[in-house]
Structure 1
Amino acid sequence: MQSLYHYPLGDRFPQEADVIIEIAKNSRNKYEYESETGNFRLDRVLSSPLHYVTEYGFFPQTLAGDGDPADVLVPMEEPTFPGCIIRVRPIGLLKMADEKGEDFKILAVPSKDRRYTEITKHTDVSPHLLLEIEHFFQVYKNLDNLYPTIMGWEDEAFAKNYLLECHENFKKSALALK
């Protein structure tokens, strides 16, 4: 069985790519994909009385600085489910760090939802949604005595360059051989 880490990115990468959802919007359950079994395991339930503001997942065939695939945040009207594949367009990146170091999050909109057709950069998104995302990631681990640092937003060009870098990291890694 081929791991979802190897799922095709699509022929328009990095302008558009397929992503794998691990955590549905409005969930407090943190699921993680296990490449060895092909399953999604409940990693933990958030200690804080918060829920994920967007769909949360990863870009296949990428490797970020934390040793995991590049993270993605996808605003959706309705929650999806762990394992859902969504074609997205990257529009920005939230720079942040946690207890393990750099932990960037790419903001990307669904390509197949007309509500997002004219959204091409993170500043096109509701400023309140951006604040909700920042707030969530700033406090969601606080009751575990962990305090992530938010360093602000970068534009879509930065996000796409980061994705290209993460894709190159993947191709050079042992993950690419599995």
Structure 2
Amino acid sequence: MFHDALKSVPSRTEAGDINVFIETPMGSEHKYELDPSGLFKIALSLPDGMRFPFGFGFVPGTEAGDGDPLDILLLTDGPVPAGFLIDARLIGVLKMENEEDGQMVRNDRIVAVAKLSRIFSDYDDLEQMRSGFAWDMERFFKTYNAMIERRFEVIGRGDRSDARKMLEDAGG
């Protein structure tokens, strides 16, 4: 079964990059989640005119503080369909927290660039991106969380060494 096959995928590639499993493609107006059965389901529909500005997924073989695989935002040259595994390199982290069961908990998002990207190939750190790029991503999450009526805060940002530490702490 597809879901069982994903369990055997390591967090890192043989070349030392990271594996990223795409759940929600860039440009999607729906947030998809991988169901325990191995099928995708629509977890949320975004308001008219709102789309995911990046690929969203996770790093297989990891476990973040919330018990789920480590969340990742993937920068690519165009949309990558849900269910694809992409080689990527870390460039930073968006440090965030949101409400779960009445408590504010950390829910950071690692940011990575697809290895095959030509558009983002020269970027090694989140701070190298165009002015306002990280702010745009943070604004997306603020709007997304407001839409589902969940408290949300941006805590800060981190560079690629912070992202590497988060990956290591998550077992990757």
Bin for the TM-score computed over the shorter chain:
0.7 to 0.9
Tell me, yes or no, if the aligned pair for 1:24 and 1:55 is still in contact at 8 Å: yes
Q: CA deviation at 1:47?
A: 4.8
2:110 to 106, 112, 117: 106
What's the TM-score once normalised by structure 1's chain length?
A: 0.85
2:6 to 4, 7, 30: 4
The residue that corresponds to 1:173 in the other structure is none
In 2, Cα distance between the equivalents of 1:135 and 1:55? 16
Alpha-carbon displacement from aligned partner over 1:34-88 (angstroms, at most 9, x marks no partner)? 2x32111111213575221110000000001111100110122311111011110
Tell me, yes or no, if the aligned pair for 2:62 and 2:170 is still in contact at 8 Å: yes
* Structure 1 unaligned residues grouped into runs of 5+: 169-178
The residue that corresponds to 1:163 in the other structure is 167
3-state DSSP class of the match of 2:83? Answer: coil
Point out the structure with the larger helix share. Answer: 1
The residue that corresponds to 2:22 in the other structure is 21
Which amino acid in the other structure matches residue 133 of structure 2?
Answer: L
Residues 88/113 of structure 1: CA separation in 2 closer, same or farther (3 Å cut): same
In 2, Cα distance between the equivalents of 1:23 and 1:158? 24
Paired residues, number: 165
In 1, Cα distance between the equivalents of 2:48 and 2:119? 31
In 2, Cα distance between the equivalents of 1:48 and 1:72? 24
3-state DSSP class of the match of 2:163? Answer: helix
RMSD over aligned Cα atoms: 1.7
In 2, Cα distance between the equivalents of 1:145 and 1:118? 38
Which amino acid in the other structure matches residue 6 of structure 2?
Answer: L
3-state DSSP class of the match of 1:161? Answer: helix
User: For 1:74-153, what aligned pairs fall within 5 Å after superposition?
Assistant: 74-100=74-100, 101-153=105-157
Residues 11/141 of structure 1: CA separation in 2 closer, same or farther (3 Å cut): same
In 2, Cα distance between the equivalents of 1:138 and 1:151? 12
Q: CA deviation at 1:162?
A: 0.6
Which amino acid in the other structure matches residue 130 of structure 2?
Answer: S
Q: CA deviation at 1:157?
A: 0.4
Farther-moved stretch of structure 1 (90-99 vs 1-10)? 1-10
In 2, Cα distance between the equivalents of 1:3 and 1:46? 30
* Structure 2 unaligned residues grouped into runs of 5+: none
Identity of aligned residues (%): 28
The residue that corresponds to 2:60 in the other structure is 60
Q: Which consecutive aligned stretches of 4+ in structure 1 deviate over 2 angstroms post-superposition?
A: 46-50, 114-117
Farther-moved stretch of structure 1 (41-50 vs 88-97)? 41-50
